[in-house]
Amino acid sequence: MEIPGSERAQFIQYTFDAKLGFEGKDVVIKEAGDNTFDVAIPEFKFIGYDHPEYRIVVEQNGALSFGTQQIDTLDMVNNILTDKAKKEYVDSNRDILEEQAKSFYTSIVQSVSPDTKLNFTFQQAEGD
């Protein structure tokens, strides 16, 4: 039963530095002939985050909210990074992740053999 004046609301502003990448041991490099190699990059993943900053922007407590359970801010923060949210971070940064992977492997290979060509393929997450 809802009692008028007992409601609570809390709005949190948050920022963090997301760590995105892939499992390097799952990269597959195969010779494609004529000084060319195919490089298959595995699915990009949300690995973690650094420098989290959270602050309460707005907090609303009804006149009778003293009888209502407190909002658990830590629980709210933990629920921000759902699997769906993590996938959205990866998807929104896919272009730059692909460019960084290409640059990384190209610089390694071309430092040893400048004439070598690399063809890249990127695994997409299921459902993409």
**pLDDT tens sequence across 106-122:** 999 999 999 999 999 99
Distance, in Å, from the CA atom of 26 to the CA atom of 34, rounded to the nearest integer, reads: 24
Q: What angle do CA 81, 84, 90 make, to 5 degrees?
A: 85
Query: What mean pLDDT is reported for the chain?
Result: 82
Tens digits of residue pLDDT in 45-99: 999 888 877 766 656 665 554 555 555 655 666 677 788 989 999 999 999 999 9
Q: What string of H, E and C letters represents the secondary structure of 84-128?
A: HHHHHHHHHCHHHHHHHHHHHHHHHHHHHCCCCEEEEEECCCCCC
pTM of the model: 0.71
